[in-house]
Structure 1
């Protein structure tokens, strides 16, 4: 299936020259993409000191702002094990047996809150310039509060492929991955597990990726993947190779879980749970909402 948005196109994966050991990180926006890219970088290089900024080491192939040929040339030149970012669901990617696909899931309400804040941090004029489009018009209505935006997001009901960062789009992405979770080469990771047991999750991923890390190196790698240390290195780690973020430090805003539920009343939370139950299987939701 092909997924397109104003700044992404999954067709850029067509004909991608895979290598043995490639790692594909498939997430929804603001669901732990950069965190997982950093974890993979630390495991691949076995050092907190990276040889280049993270967006260069782990480019976003689907992103229209950087020419595809440029991204492919950069990946072709990499001598190390490659780890590539995408926001495309697995059914829009070529599933190659030489690659491992990591899907990170985050509670959708937390994702939506983080997405709200991310929107405020984007330089939309710069994005329009890079995409060769007219300057975005000024909003005709005053912005909604974060609470009202979250309530509206829960009820918004587009076709999933038309709005992958909507609730139907999130559930579409995760449901597809959930059904494939027992297939070789597919790894599901819960954002909350990274928050609660970063050391354990990094060791689990190393095992799934067949990466041997000397025991003495683990403390420094786990510490480098912590939210505090990543925020301190925002200039090197934030996904901003084209300068579209107003503030790279603001990209690493909170890094925890529970923000979405804190904003909703009990009645609104029950309504969200009813909507989610209409969009995803119960066993996935039990795992996702825990």
Structure 2
């Protein structure tokens, strides 16, 4: 084990194992130089993350912050938009500003290493929330809205130690739908070039960024009763959105009448979100397309459905996911 200027220890994901072989064969786009496994849960992160780990660990958190935390592709963007609009007293005009600008992604810069790409593409102009997301967030005025996919153990120590108590909204989604959605996301935005079956192996093996999946979810589930943490499920947002809007508003200390709840529910509908340029990330996809940074094409928001995995996964893979889920939830009262 080696350690850097960060608290958690790490190992490079460069062994002869099948997981590392698949990872390094199919997941090495121009903005990824390799991967490391960090801390006791062996959370997979790009090696570039090590340059920022100490800054994240020692980040100055504010009690007035609102954080949306999640494993990727579990309803994060949906939850961000809901939280931001509620937190700003339904400022729909302000919501026309691109979501990454008003609700920045803490881990964006550690996730994408453009240091070799930018000199070769002088016409590629990237904003500060992409090139240095930590500085961008540090310079924001309060109240800040911050998104992260980091699991509990990699969050800033002020949060983990209870020194600061920002509002944290965690959103979870069933593993099979998450895997399918994350696969399409990784093809169009993160440069994955392998097959879906191999991707499922990486998901089950905890070998995708921010994995392993179950510790990510369960570490927040067991903290769900803490007053500054709200635990949401994607499936509940799909089933009946207005009660979730009301629950979130109460958590954020806001009061919404029935008309406001209906207005926000309409704003957050899948059709509205998919067609909303401030939240659908089509601009980021266009950059990848224009500069050929990833091999695949597609849309950030695809179906937003529950149970979509049935169309993508074979019975064999579904069985593997079900057994894996049962093993990881043994002794837990969590379920979807």
* Further displaced range: 58-67 or 191-200: 58-67
The equivalences for 1:202-221 within 5 A come to 202-221=245-264
- Counterparts in 2 of 1:260 and 1:231: CA distance versus 1, 3 Å: same
Partner of 2:101: 56
Partner of 2:301: 252
Partner of 1:30: 73
Partner of 2:175: 108
* Aligned mates of 2:312, 2:284 — CA distance in 1: 33
* Aligned mates of 2:333, 2:288 — CA distance in 1: 33
Partner of 1:131: none
Matched, 1:5 2:46: yes
| Conservation of the 8 A alpha-carbon contact between 1:37 and 1:58 | yes
| Conservation of the 8 A alpha-carbon contact between 1:231 and 1:249 | no
Partner of 2:279: 237
- Counterparts in 2 of 1:271 and 1:71: CA distance versus 1, 3 Å: closer
| Conservation of the 8 A alpha-carbon contact between 1:10 and 1:93 | no
* Further displaced range: 112-121 or 224-233: 112-121
Partner of 2:135: 72
Shift of 1:104: 0.9
Shift of 1:54: 0.6
* Aligned mates of 1:201, 1:104 — CA distance in 2: 11
Shift of 1:33: 1.1
Matched, 1:44 2:44: no
Matched, 1:279 2:328: yes
* Aligned mates of 2:58, 2:78 — CA distance in 1: 27
- SS of aligned partner of 1:121: helix
Shift of 1:164: 4.4
**Aligned residue among 221, 230, 244 for 1:178:** 221
Shift of 1:20: 2.7
- Counterparts in 2 of 1:268 and 1:240: CA distance versus 1, 3 Å: closer
- Counterparts in 2 of 1:196 and 1:185: CA distance versus 1, 3 Å: same
- SS of aligned partner of 2:306: coil
- Counterparts in 2 of 1:20 and 1:123: CA distance versus 1, 3 Å: closer
Partner of 1:87: 149
Specify which structure has the higher proportion of helix. Answer: 1
| Conservation of the 8 A alpha-carbon contact between 1:48 and 1:220 | no
Shift of 1:153: 4.5
What RMSD over aligned residues (CA atoms) do the two structures have, in Å?
Answer: 2.9
Aligned residues, how many? 260
Unpaired stretches in structure 2, ≥5 consecutive residues: 1-7, 9-37, 113-129, 290-295
* Aligned mates of 1:184, 1:23 — CA distance in 2: 13
* Aligned mates of 2:288, 2:331 — CA distance in 1: 37
* Aligned mates of 2:69, 2:98 — CA distance in 1: 20
- SS of aligned partner of 2:84: helix
- SS of aligned partner of 1:188: strand
- SS of aligned partner of 2:278: helix
**Per-residue Cα deviation, 1:120-171 (whole angstroms, up to 9, x for no partner):** 32274xxxxxxxxxxx9xx6xxx43x4x3465346x42xx4x64455xx111
Matched, 1:198 2:261: no
| Conservation of the 8 A alpha-carbon contact between 2:151 and 2:210 | no
- SS of aligned partner of 2:108: coil
| Conservation of the 8 A alpha-carbon contact between 1:10 and 1:88 | no
- Counterparts in 2 of 1:55 and 1:248: CA distance versus 1, 3 Å: farther
